[in-house]
C-alpha cells in the first residue's frame, strides 16, 4: 500500500472525530449544576443584598475576617454597634457538599472564632449576613487555606 494524499486526509478526519468524541465524553463527566438551587429567588432579592452591602461600606470599621496562627478563623465585628446577630455561611466553590452555616455568637470583645479544622484545604468564601443596632449588613471575603 502506497501512502498518498487521500490516506492523509482520511487519517486527519478520523483523528479529528475521535478527538471530538473524546471531548464530549469527558465534558459529560463533570457536574455542571448551578451554584445555588434557589438562584432565581436570590436574584429577585438582590436589591436588599445591595442595601446591606452599602450599609457595610458606610461603617467606619467593618467586619474583618482573618486566619489566626492558632488555626482559628477569627471574625472581628465592629464593637461600636453593640449586640450582633446573624448567620455565617462558609461556601466552598469547588464542592457544595462542604458548605455549612453557623449562627453568629460573639464573645465580649465582639469576636467569633471558628476552628479551621472544619474547613478542608482550598478556596472558601465566607459570607456573613448580620444585624446590629437595627441595621442589616453583609460582608463577603475570600479565604484560602
CATH no. for residue 81? 2.60.40.10
Please check whether residues 79 and 137 belong to one and the same domain: yes
Kindly report, residue by residue over 12-34, the tens digit of the pLDDT.
999 999 999 999 999 888 776 66
C-alpha torsion angle, residues 93, 98, 103, 106 (rounded to 10): -80
Q: Are 65 and 8 within one domain? A: no
Residues 43 and 92 reside in one and the same domain = yes
The answer to whether residue 55 scores a pLDDT higher than 80 is yes
Is the pLDDT at 10 greater than 90? The verdict is yes
Say if residue 47 is in the same domain as residue 24.
no
Residues 130 and 74 both lie in one domain: yes
**pTM across the whole model:** 0.68
- Kindly state whether residues 83 and 54 are assigned to the same domain: yes
Is residue 61 very low, low, confident or very high in pLDDT (cuts 50, 70, 90)?
confident
Residue 51 is part of which domain span? 39-144
Answer yes or no: do 14 and 80 share one domain.
no
pLDDT digits 0-9 by tens, 80-134: 888 899 999 999 888 888 888 999 988 888 899 988 887 888 889 999 999 988 8
| 50/17 same-domain check | no
Amino acid at each position: 500500500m502506497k501512502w498518498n494524499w487521500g490516506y492523509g486526509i482520511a487519517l486527519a478526519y478520523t483523528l479529528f472525530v475521535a478527538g471530538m468524541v473524546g471531548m464530549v465524553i469527558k465534558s459529560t463527566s463533570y457536574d455542571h449544576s448551578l451554584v445555588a438551587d434557589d438562584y432565581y429567588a436570590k436574584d429577585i432579592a438582590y436589591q436588599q443584598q445591595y442595601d446591606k452591602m452599602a450599609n457595610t461600606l458606610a461603617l467606619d470599621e467593618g467586619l474583618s475576617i482573618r486566619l489566626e496562627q492558632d488555626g482559628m478563623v477569627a471574625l472581628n465585628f465592629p464593637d461600636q454597634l453593640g449586640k450582633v446577630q446573624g448567620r455565617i455561611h462558609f461556601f466552598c466553590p469547588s464542592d457544595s457538599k462542604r458548605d455549612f452555616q453557623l449562627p453568629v455568637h460573639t464573645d465580649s470583645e465582639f469576636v467569633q472564632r471558628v476552628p479551621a479544622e472544619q474547613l478542608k484545604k482550598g478556596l472558601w468564601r465566607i459570607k456573613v449576613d448580620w444585624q446590629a443596632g437595627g441595621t442589616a449588613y453583609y460582608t463577603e471575603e475570600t479565604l484560602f487555606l
